[in-house]
């Protein structure tokens, strides 16, 4: 009887241990990273950084209906009163902003005043009228209109990121929209040919904010990953370069 009871309980015990391991190795580090990031965004020193290398970690979070991807970044940081230095960090970046974190892009960050190796990526720092600058236009109503347009695009892309179907696509045409985000990152008008696994190829148009130094990855002939609305294939959002 004792052996039977032992066998009966061993399965649930193993399941509990497995869940605990997942929590310790996967979930808790993610929440620790988000907590540290939120603290730095509130208290850190503003600076800028050039992305030297970027690699997706495979982690993904959905916050307020917005899908964010884990990215490991190597950065060259420039802060007031400090010599430039290289460091590494991790961040969760929304779908619209993912292309802005490609190598060569210049991004806003916050740094820990006590430990400059602790960095928080602050891509939302530029989400103001001043950040959405039509090329050659003075500050004013045009920037307000550009900001509203990009925010609407962001909302649409967040929705597609959640419910869209993933596929590869080839860029057929790429043209700047005339709007720069966070200074030098152009909002690109893209025409793509999509190759789903569930239906024949089709063409669609979309827009994406692209890091200035990553533009070569978003030129005609280049392959990218997209998500499309399975009920309306005219609705497409860029996930990341291939």
pLDDT at position 134: 45
Please report the DSSP string for the chain in residue order.
Answer: -HHHHHHHHHHHHHHHHHHHHHIIIIIHHHHHHHHHHHHHHHHSEEEEEEEEEEEEEEEEEEETTEEEEEEEEEEEEE-TTS--EEEEEEEEEETTTGGGGSTT-EEEEEEETTEEEEEEE-GGGG-SGGGEEETTPPSSHHHHHHHHHHHHHHHHHHHHHHHPEEEEEEEEEEEEEEEEETTTEEEEEEEEEEE-SSS--EEEEEEEE--GGGGGGGSTT-EEEEEEETTEEEEEEEEEE-
pLDDT at position 115: 87
Contact between 51 and 101 (Cβ < 8 Å) = yes
Taking the model in full, what pTM does it have? 0.49
pLDDT at position 44: 83
**Rounded distance, CA 127 to CA 147, Å?**
8
> pLDDT truncated to tens, each residue of the chain (242 aa)?
445 555 555 656 555 555 544 444 444 445 565 667 778 877 888 888 888 888 877 776 655 455 677 788 898 888 877 888 998 888 877 766 666 677 887 778 888 888 888 888 876 654 444 444 444 444 445 555 666 666 677 777 778 877 889 999 999 999 887 777 655 677 788 999 999 998 999 999 988 878 767 788 889 999 999 899 999 999 998 887 76
pLDDT at position 201: 95
pLDDT at position 202: 95
Contact between 129 and 137 (Cβ < 8 Å) = no
pLDDT at position 128: 41
């Amino acid at each position: 009887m004792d052996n039977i009871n032992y066998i009966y309980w061993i399965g649930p015990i193993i399941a509990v241990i497995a869940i605990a391991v997942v929590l310790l190795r996967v979930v808790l580090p993610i929440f620790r990273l988000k907590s540290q990031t939120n603290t730095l965004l509130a208290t850190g020193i503003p600076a800028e950084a050039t992305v030297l290398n970027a690699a997706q970690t495979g982690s993904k979070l959905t916050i307020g209906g917005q899908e964010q991807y884990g990215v490991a970044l190597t950065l060259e940081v420039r802060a007031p009163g400090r010599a430039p230095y290289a460091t590494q960090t991790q961040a969760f970046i929304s779908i619209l902003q993912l292309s802005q974190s490609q190598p060569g892009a210049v991004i806003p960050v916050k740094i820990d005043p006590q430990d400059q190796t602790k960095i928080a990526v602050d891509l939302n720092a530029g989400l103001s009228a001043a950040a959405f600058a039509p090329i050659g236009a003075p500050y004013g109503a045009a920037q307000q209109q550009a900001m509203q347009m990009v925010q609407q695009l962001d909302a649409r892309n967040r929705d597609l990121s959640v419910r869209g179907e993933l596929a590869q696509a080839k860029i057929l045409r790429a043209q700047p929209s005339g709007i720069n985000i966070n200074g030098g990152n152009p909002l690109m008008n893209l025409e793509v040919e999509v190759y789903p696994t569930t239906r024949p190829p089709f063409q669609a148009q979309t827009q994406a904010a692209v890091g200035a130094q990553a533009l070569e990855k978003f030129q005609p002939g280049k392959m990218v990953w997209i998500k499309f609305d399975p009920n309306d294939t005219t609705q497409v959002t860029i996930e990341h370069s291939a």
